[in-house]
Structure 1
Amino acid sequence: MKARIVYASMTGNDEDMADILEEDLQDYGFEVESSDVSFTDASDYLKSDLCIFITYTYGEGKMTDEIADFYEQLKTLDLSGKHFAVMGSGDKTYGEHFCENVFDYEKAFKEAGAIEATAPVTIENAPDDDAIDKIDNAAKEMADLLNG
């Protein structure tokens, strides 16, 4: 099984999440490729069985240019038959906008025809032990679903 992780990381928190998830999925036998959203085209997901996007939400949920461009590309794809997962970090001081971009991407993947492999994983700021457990559990759910 091939997994593609694309991440957007302003502070390094989401890159850390991507690294944790990549290691987990490799332990479950996935062939994993990870890349920064700035150096990735959404069509790269077409070569994978599992499509993962990890993003931050800045402020009150407005997407930064790099995230918005990739989002627009994603919405043009047909990902029927592929599975996806979304994860990300945010700051709870923004209330209803906490991790809003994670849920924007969840909707875009569904509209592209992809099947959700696990519930979105949202964390506050940097991954702590609880967040790592959430990422580990999500990786297990993805592996159980895709590896049978």
Structure 2
Amino acid sequence: MTVLAALLALAGGAALWIRATVLIAVVRGPSMRPAYADGDRLIARRRRSAPRRGDVVVFRNPRPHGVAGSSEGPLLIKRVAAGPAEPAPTGMAAPVVPPGHLAVLGDNPAQSLDSRHLGFIPVANVIAVVVRRIGD
């Protein structure tokens, strides 16, 4: 194998690694204002461990068609308000977040489809944790 072929093979492997561990998420709607606005593009790292309180996460909507009047898609972006065994935010169905679940809330609660409507989110539904906004 030539040096150039070896470098190209290495570069291809690195590109594959980047695609496998990082994703670009686009904010849709006003639910994460003021932190993120509609159309903001975010860099998110695929989840390797359980998200912590304060992390902004990309996760699979557990009920993509089950909330009346919702135009939310199959993936949502919200902030983790509480993790397993932590006190649940006010207005939740249980006083403590159950094992293996998260309570997630939008930064703009008046316009957010979050745990107040969806219930606790399984940690397994979390795809990635937001690292930063593109352009910052």
TM, length-normalised to structure 2: 0.27
The structure with the larger Rg is: 2
Report which of the two has the higher share of helix.
Answer: 1
1 or 2, which has the higher strand percentage? 2
Q: TM-score, normalised by structure 1?
A: 0.25
